Amino acid sequence: MGDTLDTIELVLPFKAEYVSVARLVTSGLCNRMGFDVETIEDVKVAISEVCSKLVSIGSNVSQCYKIVYSVSEDVLKVTYLCEDSSLKCIFNNGDDGLAIHIINALMDEVELCTSNDYILSMSKVVEGND
Amino acid sequence: MSDGLSFTKEKSDEYVKVSLVGEVDIYTSQDFKNMLYEVVDCEKMNLIIDCKQLNYIDSTGLGIFVGALKKVKQYDKKIVLTNLKDNIKKLFVITGLDKVFVIE
């Protein structure tokens, strides 16, 4: 995985109407990195699934959550952060089975539960960039 | 900001056809659920859902489809999904729902 060249941060309220904004930003960023159209759709879906889950559970501490896009030569790494440290392992295997399955299938690396200071992270490699 | 979601409903002797336009996500899912369940419960007919102009759906939307299918089966009817875009069909395949729904 290459060194991070740029970092883009998106801060969104815990509101459903802004999840589409995350998809728009993701789409533009992936397009700029050279992902093909199908992969852009995949990354959009995965990122949107996490946003939807965060919005549905909300936060007692913070008004907003942050999506950090770490862009390197051939990899997009996406990390979710929030002031509310209780937001860990936000997905459960029962109710969120479809979402977990979709995220794992569409992204290359997924860290759904973490002991780090972020909520979760996932990454996608740009194919064909040798 | 968001495409939102709208729909049209056509009724024949044998089925009800619902055409979806826009996006089904956490923002639009409650309206979508209300509309779909109302159609199922009121019409009690075979349901065709035309997804030609459906641009996006997430797991919330897929869950609503599954819920509607359970309801339809109570009336011994079926749901047929038509004109799915590739990105949406892919989600049905990933989740195995392509084997649960009739997709044309």
Across the interface, do B86 and A102 touch by the CB < 8 Å criterion? no
Contacts of A121 (CB under 8 A, 6+ apart): A77, A78, A79, A80, A110, A111, A114
Nearest of B38, B56, B15 to residue A43 by alpha carbon: B56
The C-alpha R_g of chain B, in whole angstroms, comes to: 13
Answer whether B58 touches A (CB < 8 Å). Answer: yes
Across the interface, do A41 and B87 touch by the CB < 8 Å criterion? yes
What was the ipTM of the complex prediction? 0.89
Average pLDDT over residues A61-82: 94
Q: Write down the CATH number for the domain with range B5-103.
A: 3.30.750.24
State the pLDDT at residue A59. Answer: 85
Q: How far apart are CA A118 and CA B13, in angstroms?
A: 55
Q: Pick from B3, B25, B87: which is nearest to A48 by CB?
A: B25
Would you list the DSSP string of A14-75?
Answer: S-GGGHHHHHHHHHHHHHHHT--HHHHHHHHHHHHHHHHHHHHH--SS-SEEEEEEEEESSE
Residue A11 predicted with pLDDT over 90: yes
Q: Are the C-beta atoms of A122 and A78 separated by less than 8 Å?
A: yes
Residue A70 lies in a domain: yes
Q: Pick from A21, A52, A101: which is nearest to B95 by CB?
A: A101
Q: Are the C-beta atoms of A114 and A87 separated by less than 8 Å?
A: no
State the pLDDT at residue B98. Answer: 95
**pLDDT tens per residue, range B41-84:** 999 999 999 999 999 999 999 999 999 999 999 999 999 999 99
Residue A97 lies in a domain: yes
The token pair that represents A14 in the structure block: 């815990």
Answer whether A21 touches B (CB < 8 Å). Answer: yes
Q: Are the C-beta atoms of A48 and A30 separated by less than 8 Å?
A: no
The token pair that represents B58 in the structure block: 């997430």
CA distances from A112 to A7, A61, A121 (A): 21, 21, 7
State the pLDDT at residue A130. Answer: 52
Q: Are the C-beta atoms of A90 and A57 separated by less than 8 Å?
A: yes
Domain boundaries, chain B: 5-103
Owning domain of residue A44: 4-125
- Listed by number, the residues of chain A in 65-124 with a beta carbon closer than 8 Å to a beta carbon of chain B are 96, 98-99, 101-102, 105-106
The token pair that represents A93 in the structure block: 């295997």
State the pLDDT at residue B82. Answer: 97
CA distances from A50 to A19, A43, B2, B15, B86 (A): 9, 11, 17, 36, 22
Contacts of A117 (CB under 8 A, 6+ apart): A81, A85
Banded pLDDT at A1 (limits 50, 70, 90):
low
Answer whether A55 touches B (CB < 8 Å). Answer: yes
Residue A130 lies in a domain: no
Answer whether A54 touches B (CB < 8 Å). Answer: no
Answer whether B87 touches A (CB < 8 Å). Answer: yes
For chain A, give the mean pLDDT: 92
CATH code (residue A50): 3.30.565.10
**How many independent structural domains does chain A possess?**
1
